[in-house]
Structure 1
Amino acid sequence: MSDLVLEPSAVPQPIPVREILPWAVFVGLLLLLALYFVGAEEGATSLIPGMYVHEFVHDGRHLLGFPCH
Structure 2
Amino acid sequence: MIVVSSKRAGGRVMASIKRFVERKLKLKVNDTKSQVIPDCFETRRQQVASISALELASKPLPDIPTIR
TM-score in same-fold range (> 0.5): no
* TM-score, length of structure 1 as denominator length: 0.33
Could you say which structure has the greater relative contact order, defined with CA pairs below 8 angstroms and 6 or more residues apart? 2
* TM-score, length of structure 2 as denominator length: 0.33
